Amino acid sequence: MSTIASLDARLIRVPLTRPWAADVTSVGVIATHVVRSDGVEGWGFSWTPQIGAAAVLALIEHDIAAFAVGRTADAAELWQPAWQHLHEAGGGGITTIALAGVDLALWDAAARAADRSIASLLGTRRTSVRCYGSGINLHYPLDELLAQAQRWVDAGFDAVKMKVGSPDLRDDIARVAAVRDVIGPRRALMIDANQRWTLDQATEAVDALAASDIAWIEEPLRADDLAGHTELGRRLRASSQVPIALGENLHNRYRFADFTDAGAAQIVQPNIVRVGGITPFLRIAADAHRAGAALHPHLLPELSGQLAMVLEQDVLVEDIEDAAFGSLGALDDPSPVAIARGALTEVPHTGLGMRFTDPEGTR
């Protein structure tokens, strides 16, 4: 049995071509590297846009490395005991984000040892995955928002997502209606409130915005408000029928089950890094399928797209404009996926196909 011989990590700031806010002009990547006892190497990463990157790096370098070195290099075997070891620092958040760096590197090593891509190693079910165009655009003036919507149309996406949650609901109504006019009646239009509303505000807003034929409302309330989302789901089923999507800010399998079991979410959106890597993501996906909830991963199309190819259910992969690591020049090799006409396909590679370069070009 191979064990972990060494684990190291480094923090990289990746500049964004299109800032997500005035104070979000880059994202933090904690690039990880493992060496197994049989000499096989693997590369992974943790990720957090703005907050906590240095804390994640410290957790990997101190607590996780001390625990993991000498233990099994089987990612699926290591994950649960590692999570239990870190649980004193929290059952999710910094702990699971940091665990993802190790989990991804171990899966990368396993696929490289087999000279296969991660999808091939796990069992490819499909060779193409639908994508939707997405943007962090609540701060965009209307003309810039509509220009972005037109770019998604021109690029061949059949589904797009935009931000809502303006101080005045009338502005949201006008902006959503304008985007609907640009993309036409046949494309799916999703909206994301990023936790900006109270229960009553969400009820009023979704019922009003439903006139623009909304495919889902994402994070209408505080992300961990199980009771509020449960009640909102009950209200919406009695009125607009718009389903609730959430999950980018849920951090473990148990919280996802809480929301699906309560009828608080009809669509779950795990971020593969935030939940702790491939190992827990696959378990969350299987749980969602059994619960009858749709699953559409949050961000990271180079990683989400590869795993979407192995899931039992069909998913939509989120592609934020000018935010993929490949398009930002953050990868040492060509991107492991390609997106064209709203569909994602694999580019030949081994492992995850994601080794990060820093601005000086060092690995």
Per the listing, tokens 């601005």 go with: 359
Distance CA 336, CA 80 (A): 28
The amino acid at 170: R
Distance CA 196, CA 184 (A): 27
For the chain, the farthest-separated pair of C-alpha atoms sits apart, in whole angstroms, at 62
Q: How far is CA 137 from CA 54, 63, 88, in A?
A: 27, 38, 37
Concatenate the DSSP letters of all residues of 71-131 into one string. Answer: SB--HHHHHHHHHHHHGGG-SSSHHHHHHHHHHHHHHHHHHHHTTSBHHHHH----S-EEE
Q: Is 163 a catalytic residue?
A: yes
Which 8-state DSSP code applies to residue 246? Answer: E
Q: Which of 82, 83, 81, 89 is nearest to 55 (CA)?
A: 89
Per the listing, tokens 């943790």 go with: 46
Q: 3-state class of 191 per DSSP?
A: strand
Per the listing, tokens 């990271």 go with: 300
Per the listing, tokens 């239009």 go with: 189
Q: Is 298 a catalytic residue?
A: yes
Q: What are 250's two structure tokens?
A: 């849920």
Q: Are 113 and 121 in contact (CB under 8 A)?
A: no
Which is the catalytic residue, given 161, 229, 296, 298? Answer: 298
Which is the catalytic residue, given 33, 161, 163, 296? Answer: 163
Q: How far is CA 290 from CA 16, 76, 187, 218, in A?
A: 37, 20, 28, 21
Which 8-state DSSP code applies to residue 114? Answer: T
Which residues belong to the active site? 163, 298
